[in-house]
Amino acid sequence: MPVAYKKKVAVMTGHCEIEEAETLFAWLNEETSRQVNLKALTSAHTAVYQVLLAKKPKVSVWPEADALFWLTEMMQRHQSRVWFE
């Protein structure tokens, strides 16, 4: 299960396919205070990123995966641009 919905936090794990986007979007829309835990997220479909970047929910744990460093940058700093090393 790539996304586990708890009371306040959605825990995203591994690769999140496009199918997750709709549920996640609806879930985040239900209450603005809801958070996401990206600790174990390794990658996701654009549609999922799109939800995360558009909604910018509070993130309880940032992704550990190096590959998602740009996502952290964008969500943490509310900016749309990231430089890679």
User: Which residues bind to another protein, rule: CB under 8 A?
Assistant: 18, 21-22, 25, 29, 43, 45-47, 49-51, 53-55, 59, 62, 66-67, 69-70, 72-74, 76, 80-85
What lies within 8 Å, CB to CB, of 53 at 6+ separation is 71, 74, 75
Shortest Å, Cβ 30 to another protein? 9
How far does CA 21 lie from the centroid of its chain?
Answer: 10
Tell me the two tokens of residue 6: 């708890």
Beta 9-16 vs 3-5: how paired, if at all? antiparallel
Shortest Å, Cβ 7 to another protein? 20
Nearer to another protein, 7 or 83 (CB): 83
